[in-house]
Amino acid sequence: MKHIFVVDDEKNIRDILQKYIENEGYKITLFSDGKNVYQEMLRLKPDLLIIDIMLPHIDGLELCKEIRKSSDIPIIFVSARDGEFDRILGLELGGDDYLTKPFSPRELMVRIKNLFKRMEKASDCLKQTIIIRDITIDLERRYIEKDGLEIKLTTKEYELFVFLARNIGKPFTREDLLGFIWGYEFAGDGRLIDDLVKRVRKKLEMHQSSVELSTIWGYGYRLDE
């Protein structure tokens, strides 16, 4: 049974999400602030976190930064902040999705299910190893390494890199990549892909990898052979 953490200081939202999540057969643990979430995550090992950004004690963005130091667990932000900057920042810090309040609980459930399906598909499909130059990708373990050292990627960074690695040398538009990674349209949000690419490149450079993620100007991106 999948286990979901919901971190939100609004009781009515916690109550509504508890009803919907439990009706789908998932286990849920509720938090009214972010104070003990990280410690409980290490203890209970949930499968997904739903985090409000504006929380007492520690806000959702800071909580996400703390979690991303050691875990790539999927994180969905929910927030009353509806500006593009806040959404980009949330995803840049390692969030996998972002919903603006008020939101439809049904839509949230669809996004949760899609996220779980993509993770399971990535785990079950093509259980093999991909080697590109000095990078080795163990698809079964969702593990990427160079010279025996792990290159830690968030869920979305991993999905982008593996998708391009499976289609080595083929260029994709931002819209193609948005559709693959999120499974639905983020109209006009090509910057999400730009940001993902930037983060993956930075991590490859930190490990001094020779793998090159190229920009196709006016079109999109390609992982070069």
105 and 132 fall within a common domain: no
Q: Are residues 168 and 134 in the same domain?
A: yes
Q: Is 136 helix (H, G, I), strand (E, B) or coil?
A: strand
Consecutive H or E run containing 29: strand 27-31
Question: Is 115 in the same domain as 131?
Answer: no
Same structural domain, 90 and 146: no
Predicted TM-score (pTM) of the model is 0.62
Q: Are residues 21 and 42 in the same domain?
A: yes
Are residues 111 and 134 in contact, defined by beta-carbon separation less than 8 angstroms?
no
Same domain? For 93 and 139 the reply is: no
CB 218 within 8 Å of CB 171 = no
CATH number for the domain harbouring residue 65? 3.40.50.2300
Whether 36 and 135 share a structural domain: no
Read off the tokens for 40.
């409980």
Q: Which residue range is the domain that position 101 belongs to?
A: 3-120
Q: Are 94 and 139 found together in one domain?
A: no
Query: What tens-digit pLDDT sequence spans the chain (225 residues)?
Result: 899 999 999 999 999 999 999 999 999 999 999 889 999 998 999 999 999 999 988 989 999 999 988 888 999 999 887 767 777 888 888 888 888 888 899 999 999 998 888 777 666 555 588 889 899 999 888 899 999 899 999 888 999 999 999 899 999 998 888 888 876 555 456 678 898 999 999 999 999 999 999 999 989 999 987
Which of 120, 140, 164 terminates a domain? The answer is 120
* Same domain (yes/no): 31, 10: yes
Number of domains in the chain: 2
Q: Are residues 114 and 149 in the same domain?
A: no
46 and 142 co-located in one domain? no
Residue 196: Cβ-neighbour burial (10 angstroms; 0-12, 13-18, 19+): buried
